[in-house]
Amino acid sequence: MTTTIALAGNPNSGKTTMFNDLTGSSQHVGNWPGVTVEKKEGRLKGRKDVVIQDLPGIYSLSPYSPEEVITRNYLITEQPSAIINIVDASNIERNLYLTTQLTELGIPVVLALNMIDIVHKRGDVIDTDKLSKAMGCAVVETSAVKGLGSKNAAEKALWLSDLHAHGGHSRDHVHAGANHVGHEHHLHHEPPFEPKHRFSAVVEDAIKLIGALIEDAAAAAATATGAPTRWFAIKLFERDSEVQRHLKLDEQQQAQVEAIIKTAEQQLDDDSESIITNERYSFVTDVIAQTLTVKDSSGVSLSDRIDRVVTNRVLALPIFALIMFVVYFLSISTVGTAMSGWVNDVLFGETVPGAMEEFLLSVGAADWLQSLILDGIVAGVGAVIGFLPQMLTLFLLLAILEDCGYMARIAFIMDRIFKRFGLSGKSFIPILIGTGCGVPGILASRTIENESNRRLTVMTTTFIPCSAKLPIIALIVGALFPGQAWVATSTYFIGMAAIIISGIILKKTRWFAGDPTPFVIELPAYHLPRVKGVARTMFERGWAFVKRAGTIILLATIVVWFLSSFNWTLQMVDTDESMLAAIGSAIAFIFSPLGWGDWRATVASITGLIAKENVVGTFGVLYGFAEVAEDGAEYWPMLAAAFTQISAFSFLLFNLLCAPCFAAIGAISREMGSARWTAFAVAYECVFAYLVAFSFYQIALLLTTGAFTVATALALLVVLATLYLLVRKPYLSHEPKRKQLKKAPAST
């Protein structure tokens, strides 16, 4: 029989580190069904019959964010055998708020006081016996980052689950080590999984009345969930809409419940949800006063002193910019680029293609097969692997920032600015990373908890010019704007403007509407990152890219190879006679309103979907140059003859803002977790890019020539429509809003 232990706790409490410590390499990583929130589970080291389930980090079981919904649904429907509640012992008061809710579920709970080494270093003392008695659950001191106490927490969870399953009597053949755990931990002969906290008399009376009223409905629901009647009664008192729907009370019962709640609200002069929240914190405050002895009564820790500098309103942004410059410089400009250069130029530029070509010639492979393998498969794999060194370096540095506690500060700092545009503070990190490469920028959106904000960030991150777009910028500037540095510089401002405009407009639509979940984040104490944990994070993210983005770009490369190598009679031909050229010619008229209806420009933009730098190479081939420099200097005169400055800048705008390369689209697919959302993201980027380029070209043409056409009128309408979308009232969502708590559970 399999025993399941769920790990639950606040974000940044060390939950993932403990999961890694308990499971080692026996892990499975995927997504929860229907959402892109990561799902991790593994087997307890040495115990194939024990599954460890790592739940998303949450602050409360009130379901407002996707993480809270997932965690609560799992706990009440899947009913794990036991819960290990990982608590940041260095910030215990805020963390115990969740503990008071977990102990109400009727599931054995082990309270793991993680980061206890920080507490000891401060000279503080936590009386675990008193804490265990007060909270009604087992308590274990742990330091997952140092590999201390995790096994003991798991053993206690196993003992408690066995005790719970057998009505309070443990079996004789419990797992080795559990018996001594049971003897050393006793709660004065009381069941070790009974919550001890109680609310005020007014609230307790209301909960009892509601419990008696819903007893039959709660009993029926308990067969599917296992949750006790008291839990349902508390949630109804909070007016929890999910529980209301789940219990299916009739109108008379609903009216009676509402009357009970209103009576309590009138007596306590507050709304029911705030009443419960404040009373939980009052209970936690009393528990802390009884169990925690603080050596430094000033309450100012080393982390607090550091934060006075790094989160300072004046110094925060310059310090952040400096740190991210170093990260960018190492991963994109030096270490990562050096390794990527070797992979692209040597491994997949000479070694692998040379060896493969020699092998194919030796076996007499057909020309089409050689082209497929060399130009399609090898080139496709090389395109994927070429990104990997930069990403691994980037993931390594970001994992260090996350593990030491600074990444939480970045999100806190940037939230002040980005929340004005409908984005989370965590959205800035993917955008910044996207200046090097859109793929890791998109993958970095995984740190954003709010699902709509994450999707919005994924959709807009690639508007910022990445390193692969630099050759396009250099091509247009060199051929049409020589010596005009403002053109290249403007592309970054245009990219950021596109992100801000999209954020404002999309946040007002039905798909992204509603008040954003308040940005609640715990600022963990600073500590040295653990090598094992950082390395694991880096390789997990890198492998996720190779598996998902790699397969998509490989398939897409083969398809484009086929279209650019064969004509409609399936004969191998030059690119300008291929199906791709025919398709480009057929659809070139679409881009005529943008000022560049030539089929060569159309084909170059299409091949740019494989990798943006392909735009330069494709122009080279179509203009008769087998090999060209990175900026296409050989055919600048031909390009200058084919474009005007206005049409060239329109071409630049479209290729900067339209759908990214296939590798980035693969990353979008991974993060969206839905083909429909991926298609929507790609379509939005393409339409947005088209309208921007169209409006620019037509209005610029009006200003330079004075010609007013139907297209000019349409361009002006697009501008007016954009202004309307920016200032219009947002779509009114009917989703329940999180109330402003009188005592917030974390730094905001």
Closest by CA to 657, choosing from 594, 717, 585, 581, is 594
Q: Between 599-607 and 645-657, two packed helices, what is the crossing angle to 10 degrees? A: 20
Give yes or no for a contact between 182 and 170, defined as CB atoms under 8 angstroms apart. yes
Q: How many helices (H) and strands (E) does the chain have?
A: 34, 9
CB atoms within 10 A of CB 137: 25
Give the separation between CA 354 and CA 709, rounded to whole angstroms: 55
- CA 663 to the chain's CA centroid: 18
- CA 54 to the chain's CA centroid: 16
CB atoms within 10 A of CB 544: 18
Domain boundaries, the chain: 3-184, 201-268
- For position 333, what pLDDT does the model report? 60
Residues 6+ apart with CB under 8 A from 419: 425, 516, 519
The angle subtended at Cα 396 by Cα 392 and Cα 397, nearest 5°, is 120
- For position 80, what pLDDT does the model report? 92
- For position 741, what pLDDT does the model report? 36
3-class secondary structure, 566: strand
- Residue type for 52, please? I
Bridge partners for 114 per DSSP: 88
Q: β-pairing, 38-44 with 27-31?
A: antiparallel
- What value does the CA radius of gyration of the chain take, rounded to a whole number of Å? 30
Residue bearing tokens 């880096």: 538
- For position 168, what pLDDT does the model report? 58
Give yes or no for a contact between 264 and 233, defined as CB atoms under 8 angstroms apart. no
Give yes or no for a contact between 369 and 360, defined as CB atoms under 8 angstroms apart. yes
Q: Report the sign of the C-alpha dihedral through residues 630, 633, 638, 640, in that order.
A: positive
Which string of DSSP letters, residue by residue, matches 102-135?
Answer: HGGGTS-EEEEEETHHHHHHHT-EE-HHHHHHHH
- Chunked into runs of 10 residues, the chain (748 residues) has average pLDDT values of 90 85 72 59 90 88 72 86 92 88 91 91 90 92 90 93 71 39 41 70 93 84 73 90 83 92 92 90 92 75 81 83 75 66 69 82 82 68 63 79 79 73 72 77 74 85 82 82 79 87 86 61 72 79 64 64 83 81 88 88 83 74 59 76 91 92 85 88 94 95 90 95 87 48 38
Residue bearing tokens 């620019």: 696
Is the CATH number 3.40.50.300 carried by domain 3-184? yes
Q: Report in angstroms the alpha-carbon separations of 126 from 118, 209, 288.
A: 12, 37, 9
Q: Report in angstroms the alpha-carbon separations of 614 from 338, 348, 734.
A: 21, 16, 46
- For position 419, what pLDDT does the model report? 72
Give the separation between CA 279 and CA 557, rounded to whole angstroms: 60
Closest by CA to 456, choosing from 415, 421, 497, 410, is 421
Residues 6+ apart with CB under 8 A from 361: 370
- CA 245 to the chain's CA centroid: 29
For residue 48, the surrounding DSSP H or E stretch is strand 47-54
Residues 6+ apart with CB under 8 A from 570: none
Q: Report in angstroms the alpha-carbon separations of 663 from 1, 428, 468, 552, 716.
A: 43, 21, 12, 7, 35
Residues in the chain: 748
- For position 158, what pLDDT does the model report? 93
Over 520-535, what HEC string results? CECCCCCCCCCHHHHH
Residues 6+ apart with CB under 8 A from 569: none
Closest by CA to 139, choosing from 93, 181, 106, 190, is 181
Q: Between 316-328 and 379-404, two packed helices, what is the crossing angle to 10 degrees? A: 140
Residue bearing tokens 């398709």: 583
- For position 64, what pLDDT does the model report? 63
